[in-house]
């Protein structure tokens, strides 16, 4: 007698998925993290925060807004120790991990260190910076900063901010003032409850003349009593979509005086006599924006990897339906359509990760060049061109990487079915916390248009014979416009495909722009009219740029099984994106319709190939159970046991029903009132019968 084959447990299933991978998971993980040192540090940080009581995450879904804010503040003391005792490189890696584990704290701490201190570093003179460090900025002992840029009526248009800073020559002070409601500082992280000082962005006015937006360090609260200073009005902007651990607030200034020395004067100076000296190279202020955008590319990759680790592990252990004579239900990950849902997203997350690593190197090199550059530097023009190109490229990358990550989180949630909708899956919080990345540090659509504007300018330079920066150098090759596929669908064929289509969509945007100029439009009007073409140019160029940086990183690796896998992942990313944007590749003739069919066939096969190693591949993302904080993504596969235990622990049965007596009991025990029948009360039926008989008699 044949007995039915027992269904493997979820833990056994995941163990089988990990058995004998064709590559070394540790070596692959090192490659993804950029170095063994970075991976070892990450593992050390994960162990530290898993044991830190303030970094408890299992109950985070059931905390109130006020409890979340208090928990956020509990973490500050430990981080102050690390920021004052670790190198900048090590501390940056620590905060990168914390950004995945607890985005609210990462943001609140980042407001003090990334934005407030960052504003000082980028805008203060050496003496000013030393002064504020002596005041306690670094150790938060004397100054807790916030970043007061955004206003109620102005966000992305920083040049249009309406808070004013008017120079008073007699007292040698600036008068910071909110002239109307729309100029109220809004969304200011840290303002509501915790900041003592703000880096206030305001219009500099000297002798009635505006000199543009500058930065002024303004004290908000008494550091001893924590009472608001005279002229400062602060409130809480309340509940948000996510990141409730951040105390976002609003600030209004009513003729608040700050010393002249509190204006950051690295670039623009105002003398005691009111003489304003503007920077000789306004482009140098671009550099301050690159750090945040660079970190957001890495954060997009890391957050996507977190969501994918959960979704892929769950898809491996979740069984649904059986096929043929197979008595054991099929793993979700074995269905081709489920592979299509997740494997391209895994490839995209890996591609963004390598892009982030290379972008960080570029940013560090650029920062070093800017710090050492003098106005008479012989390489001045080359450095400024590279700065402009990096600025525009980082704008496009920030936009399309954050959009891609947010989309990944939601697709991962949907791929987990009903359980993905539970707060304990961690997808709802991941999505709510990450959504803001598409808005802050520049609205994504506006950043895309900035990138598109730069690409239009690059095309103009290319047709004049100018040698372009590496990121857009393909525009110097006019033959790329008419390139055709060799049908190999190799990495080089894919890269050429993206360059061909990007060059064509950029050319279209540039020609539209020129046609509007010839029709008598101003430069700004012409740019606005061709916004959609600029957006498309930015999108296609950025995806191709991500693919190119990923491919370059892989090409630089030694031959190994890990490199072989990464080349497979790179092909999947490049071909999947071609499939997603196939209209452009057909429009400009790089691929024929038959070749696009071949692209689809290859994506199917690559998804199946990556599925075979999906679990060890996501293991190489090196994210602990504590960081993931989702029972659906448990490393050991104990999905249902962990899920049930967490739900039970977070939702104990109350000793007494909270609203039975007040609401449910009256409903259950209500008496149906005897309703009077109006028909019977009127005797209507008898009356109608009499009327009918009278009609008959009349006939």
* CATH number of residue 424's parent domain: 1.20.140.10
Nearest 5°: the CA angle 138, 139, 143 is: 80
In a 10 Å sphere around its CB, with 0-12 CB exposed, 13-18 middle and 19+ buried, how is residue 61 labelled? middle
Nearest in space to 236 (alpha carbons), one of 223, 226, 249, 222:
249
| Average pLDDT value for residue range 655-671 | 89
d(CA 312, CA 610): 11
d(CA 140, CA 128): 17
Higher pLDDT, 146 or 2: 146
Q: How does DSSP classify residue 683?
A: T
Q: What total of structural domains would you count in the chain? A: 1
| Average pLDDT value for residue range 355-374 | 80
288-302, 347-361, 596-610: which range is least confident on average? 288-302
pLDDT of residue 288: 55
- pLDDT band per the 50, 70, 90 thresholds, residue 1: very low
Nearest in space to 215 (alpha carbons), one of 155, 280, 270:
270
Nearest in space to 634 (alpha carbons), one of 3, 9, 210, 78:
9
d(CA 262, CA 199): 9
28-42, 129-143, 500-514: which range is least confident on average? 129-143
pLDDT of residue 285: 56
In a domain, 337, yes or no: yes
Are the CB atoms for 116 and 145 separated by under 8 Å?
Answer: yes
| Average pLDDT value for residue range 328-337 | 91
Residues 103-145 have pLDDT tens digits of 888 888 888 887 888 889 888 999 999 999 999 888 888 899 9
pLDDT over 90 at 407, yes or no:
yes
The listed range with the strongest mean pLDDT (44-48, 272-276, 279-283, 501-505) is 501-505
In a domain, 505, yes or no: yes
- pLDDT band per the 50, 70, 90 thresholds, residue 647: very high
pLDDT over 50 at 75, yes or no:
yes
Residues 244-303 have pLDDT tens digits of 888 899 999 999 999 999 999 998 999 999 999 987 665 555 555 666 778 889 999 999
CA 409 to chain centre: 11
pLDDT over 60 at 634, yes or no:
yes
| Average pLDDT value for residue range 421-449 | 92
pLDDT over 80 at 175, yes or no:
yes
The total number of residues shown for the chain amounts to: 699
In a domain, 63, yes or no: no
Q: How does DSSP classify residue 260?
A: G
71-85, 119-133, 486-500: which range is least confident on average? 71-85
Nearest in space to 401 (alpha carbons), one of 555, 268, 295:
295
In a domain, 48, yes or no: no
| Average pLDDT value for residue range 302-309 | 97
| Average pLDDT value for residue range 154-177 | 92
In a domain, 368, yes or no: yes
3-class secondary structure per residue, 2-65: CCCCCCCCHHHHHHHHHCCCCCCHHHHHHHHHCCHHHHHHHHHHHHHHHCCHHHCCCCHHHCCH
pLDDT of residue 506: 97
**What sign does the CA torsion over 515, 516, 517, 520 have?**
positive
In a domain, 164, yes or no: no
d(CA 94, CA 113): 13
Distances in Å between the alpha carbon of 370 and those of 56, 377, 380, 467?
41, 11, 10, 21
Nearest in space to 297 (alpha carbons), one of 345, 242, 363:
363
In a domain, 274, yes or no: no
Query: Which residues make Cβ contacts (< 8 Å) with residue 569, sequence separation at least 6?
Result: 346, 347, 350, 351, 610, 617
Q: How does DSSP classify residue 591?
A: S
Are the CB atoms for 615 and 20 separated by under 8 Å?
Answer: no
In a domain, 592, yes or no: yes
**C-alpha torsion angle, residues 422, 424, 426, 428 (rounded to 10):** 30
Are the CB atoms for 41 and 622 separated by under 8 Å?
Answer: no
30-39, 177-186, 232-241, 688-697: which range is least confident on average? 688-697
pLDDT of residue 583: 96
Token pair for residue 421? Answer: 């909708």
d(CA 139, CA 442): 29
- Site of tokens 């596969």: 637
Provide the domain limits for residue 482. Answer: 286-619
pLDDT of residue 76: 82
Distances in Å between the alpha carbon of 152 and those of 155, 161, 182, 187, 437?
8, 10, 5, 8, 19
pLDDT of residue 223: 92
- Site of tokens 């598109």: 452
Catalytic residue, from 151, 389, 441, 562: name it.
Answer: 441
**21: three-class secondary structure by DSSP:** coil
pLDDT of residue 108: 83
pLDDT of residue 422: 94
pLDDT over 80 at 203, yes or no:
yes
Q: Check if 278 is active-site.
A: no
How many Å from the N-terminal Cα to the C-terminal Cα in the chain? 88
Q: Has 189 been labeled as part of a binding site?
A: yes
pTM of the predicted structure, to 2 decimals? 0.88
């Amino acid at each position: 007698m044949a007995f039915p084959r027992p269904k493997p447990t979820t833990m056994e299933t995941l163990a089988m998925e990990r058995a004998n991978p064709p590559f070394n998971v540790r070596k692959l993980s090192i490659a993804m993290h950029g170095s063994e040192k970075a991976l070892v540090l990450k593992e050390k940080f994960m162990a530290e925060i898993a044991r830190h009581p303030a970094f408890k995450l299992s109950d985070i879904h059931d905390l109130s807004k006020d409890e979340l804010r208090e928990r956020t503040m509990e973490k500050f003391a430990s981080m102050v120790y690390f920021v004052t005792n670790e190198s900048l490189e090590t501390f940056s890696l620590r905060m990168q991990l914390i950004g995945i584990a607890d985005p609210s704290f990462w943001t609140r701490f980042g407001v003090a260190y990334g934005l407030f201190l960052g504003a000082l570093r980028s805008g203060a003179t050496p003496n000013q910076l030393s002064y504020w460090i002596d005041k306690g900025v670094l150790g938060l002992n004397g100054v807790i900063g916030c970043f007061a840029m955004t206003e109620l009526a102005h966000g992305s248009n920083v040049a249009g901010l309406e808070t004013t800073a008017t120079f008073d020559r007699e007292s040698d002070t600036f008068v910071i003032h909110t002239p109307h409601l729309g100029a109220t500082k809004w969304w200011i992280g840290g303002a509501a409850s915790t900041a003592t000082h703000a880096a206030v962005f305001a219009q500099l006015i000297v002798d009635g003349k505006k000199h543009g937006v500058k930065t002024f360090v303004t004290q908000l609260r008494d550091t001893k009593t924590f009472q608001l200073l005279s002229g400062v009005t602060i409130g809480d902007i309340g509940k948000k979509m996510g990141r409730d651990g951040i105390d976002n607030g609003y600030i209004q200034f009513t003729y608040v005086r700050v010393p002249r020395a509190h204006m950051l004067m690295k670039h623009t100076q105002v003398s005691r006599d009111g003489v304003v000296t503007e920077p000789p190279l306004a482009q140098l202020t671009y550099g301050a924006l690159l750090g945040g955008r660079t970190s957001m590319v890495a954060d997009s990759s890391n957050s996507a990897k977190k969501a994918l680790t959960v979704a892929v592990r769950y898809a491996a252990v979740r069984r649904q339906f059986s096929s043929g004579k197979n008595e054991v239900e099929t793993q979700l990950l074995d269905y081709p359509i489920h592979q299509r849902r997740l494997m391209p997203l895994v490839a995209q997350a890996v591609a963004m990760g390598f892009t982030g690593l290379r972008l960080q190197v570029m940013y560090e090199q650029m920062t070093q060049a800017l710090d050492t550059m003098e106005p008479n530097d012989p390489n001045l023009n080359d450095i400024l061109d590279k700065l402009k190109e990096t600025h525009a490229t980082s704008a496009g990358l920030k936009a399309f990487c954050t959009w891609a990550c947010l989309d990944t989180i939601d697709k991962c949630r949907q791929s987990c079915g009903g359980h993905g909708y539970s707060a304990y899956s961690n997808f709802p919080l991941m999505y709510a916390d990450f959504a803001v990345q598409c808005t802050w540090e520049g609205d994504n659509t506006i950043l895309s248009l900035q990138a598109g504007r730069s690409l239009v300018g690059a095309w103009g330079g290319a047709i004049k014979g100018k040698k372009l920066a590496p990121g857009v150098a393909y525009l110097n090759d006019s033959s790329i416009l008419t390139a055709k596929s060799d049908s190999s669908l190799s990495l080089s064929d894919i890269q050429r495909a993206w360059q061909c289509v990007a060059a064509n969509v950029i050319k279209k945007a540039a020609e539209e722009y020129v046609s509007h100029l010839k029709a008598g439009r101003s430069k700004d009007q012409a740019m606005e009219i061709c916004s959609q073409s600029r957006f498309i140019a930015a999108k296609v160029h950025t995806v191709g740029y991500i693919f190119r940086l990923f491919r370059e990183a892989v090409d630089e690796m030694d031959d190994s099984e890990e490199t072989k896998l990464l080349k497979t992942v790179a092909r999947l990313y490049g071909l999947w994106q071609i499939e997603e944007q196939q209209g452009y590749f057909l429009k400009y003739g790089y691929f024929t319709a038959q070749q696009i069919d071949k692209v689809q066939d290859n994506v199917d096969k690559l998804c199946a190939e990556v599925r075979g190693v999906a679990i060890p591949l996501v293991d190489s993302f090196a994210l602990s159970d504590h960081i993931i904080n989702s029972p659906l993504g448990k490393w050991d596969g104990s999905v249902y046991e962990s899920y049930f235990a967490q739900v039970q622990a977070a939702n104990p049965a109350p000793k007494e029903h909270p609203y039975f007596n007040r609401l449910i009991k009256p409903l259950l025990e209500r008496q149906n009132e005897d309703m009077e029948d109006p028909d019977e009360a009127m005797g209507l039926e008898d009356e109608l019968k009499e009327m009918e008989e009278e009609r008959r008699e009349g006939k």
